[in-house]
A = this chain, B = another copy of it.
């Protein structure tokens, strides 16, 4: 398995396939085909086969895929056979929404701590989680062995926050601040800039 060569888009599609497989499994369906998965998620069946082929042989020719097995395999590939504790920095509107976002919980992500430097927010609850001061960051990361963090702070604080997270051992960061951030080579950084996504749409509407 040549990990380096697997396109990120394939990883994202695996994640989508796994939801569809969970759905099929819930409906009691035992076997499926690349065509059925493709139709369920809106890609071509060749794409499904290609994405799966990066990780070995799964199906049986003429029979298809066992739903439970394939679902389990994909979750394992994605590292989702374990729960992932995550920390979230910034308890503003976006941070609060992310903290309450059911989609994370459903996929095995657990918010281990929410942090904000605003004294008025500290001690308040977001759902069932208490907003903590930044001074507690190191302790929570250690206690829950957290490797992943979400940054939902204003752009001007983002690099400083990321430096702290890296210092305390965070290895993967999901950043919502619209700012280019730098991290060491052994830390994965993923940026989602919501306005940039809207601008891809305005570009397409404008041509």
Contact = CB atoms under 8 A, between A and B. Distances in A.
Interface residues of A, number: 57
B180 A40 contact: yes
B19 A200 contact: no
A15 interface: yes
A199 B12 CA distance: 7
Interface stretch (A58-66, A89-97, A116-124, A130-138): A89-97
A184 interface: no
Q: How many copies does the complex hold?
A: 2
Contacts of A172: 201-202, 204-205
A169 interface: no
A101 B95 CA distance: 11
Interface string A27-55: 00000000000001110000000000000
Q: Binding site of A, secondary structure by majority: helix, strand, loop or mixed?
A: helix
A172 B205 CA distance: 7
Interface string A167-198: 00001111000101110000010101111111
A207 B3 contact: yes
B201 A190 contact: yes
B198 A109 contact: yes
Which residue, of A101, A148, A173, has the highest number of chain B Cβ atoms within 10 A?
A101
Given A84-B202, A202-B79, A202-B80, A103 B148 contact: no
A84 B205 CA distance: 11
A26 interface: no
A166 interface: no
Interface of A: 3, 8, 11-12, 14-16, 19, 40-42, 77-80, 84, 86, 93-94, 96-98, 100-101, 103-104, 106-107, 109, 147-148, 171-174, 178, 180-182, 188, 190, 192-207
The 10 lowest CB-CB distance pairs between A and B, nearest first, are: A79-B206, A97-B97, A79-B202, A42-B180, A172-B201, A93-B97, A103-B195, A15-B199, A15-B196, A93-B100
